[in-house]
Amino acid sequence: MNTSVAHPTNGRSVRVLQVTSVYYPELRYGGPPLKIHLLSRGLREAGFSVNVITFHSEKPLCTDCADFDGVPVQYVPWIGRGFRQWPLRRDLLTTAIRHADIIHCYGLYNALCPLAAWYAKNLQKPYLLEPLGMYRPQVRNILAKKLYHRLFTSWMARHASGIVASSPAEELDLDVLCRDRTTLVVRRNGIDLVPFRCLPSAESFRDKHGVSRENRIILYLGRISPV
């Protein structure tokens, strides 16, 4: 059975460009790099043509093309410090956008996504904005984040074809950004079930740590950071 997703005009697969400042396998930056990779892999398995454009955090001048689980990744060289990264080869970004049918921008507070949104609008390409839980200013630099929203986030949201929230709470925060033409949807963070397909026996943990069968084991899952 053919599971490819055809373009409505010429029968080819829909080309999706994933734009993110950090990507798999740089997992030390938390869940988003893995989440975006799993989404990219899932889209590819569903028949979409998927490409990723991103920075390499440890190699600022990197312009390599890589492949992770069949997902092509283009690195853009950058200058700056930490997450204050400015792309040096914007032609790589514009070329990728020209060859895409839809652009998906992940995260806020980086230069790559606003540039991608701006180029997408000028090239009349639809794009999605997914803040990854970063919209509500909190913890630190709150005034700077509010200013960023006024200058960049509101503009990106105004011209986006859709905004993706990761929870109902974030959906309420993002509702103020939506206009009549902008769709707001919730897609919760999922779990990659592949590592759980072959689990050890239920008693192996007790045996390894010397826990008696009479004692209960409590598993706590939750956020430890102040956010």
Per-residue model confidence (pLDDT) at position 227: 57
Q: Convert the pLDDT of each residue in 94-124 to its tens digit.
A: 999 999 999 999 999 999 999 999 999 999 9
Q: Looking at the predicted structure, is the pLDDT value of residue 30 above 60?
A: yes
Per-residue model confidence (pLDDT) at position 6: 54
Residue that has been written with the tokens 């792309």 in this structure = 87
Q: How far apart are CA 132 and CA 7, in angstroms?
A: 28
Q: Convert the pLDDT of each residue in 36-79 to its tens digit.
A: 999 999 999 999 999 999 999 999 999 999 999 999 999 999 99
CATH classification code of 15-193:
3.40.50.2000
pTM for the model stands at 0.84
Range 11-34 average pLDDT: 92
Q: How would residue 5 be classed by pLDDT, with cut points 50, 70 and 90? A: low
Q: Convert the pLDDT of each residue in 185-212 to its tens digit.
A: 999 888 888 888 888 887 888 888 899 8
Q: Convert the pLDDT of each residue in 140-180 to its tens digit.
A: 888 989 999 999 999 999 999 999 999 999 999 998 888 76
For the chain, the residue count is 227
- Contact in structure between 182 and 158 (CB atoms under 8 Å): yes
Q: Return the biggest CA–CA distance within the chain.
A: 66
- Contact in structure between 173 and 146 (CB atoms under 8 Å): no
DSSP state at residue 175: G
Q: How would residue 82 be classed by pLDDT, with cut points 50, 70 and 90? A: confident
| Average pLDDT of every residue of the chain | 89
The residues with which 179 forms a beta bridge, in sequence order, are none
Residue that has been written with the tokens 């998927």 in this structure = 50
Q: Looking at the predicted structure, is the pLDDT value of residue 3 above 70?
A: no
- Residue 74: how many CB atoms within 10 A of its CB? 19
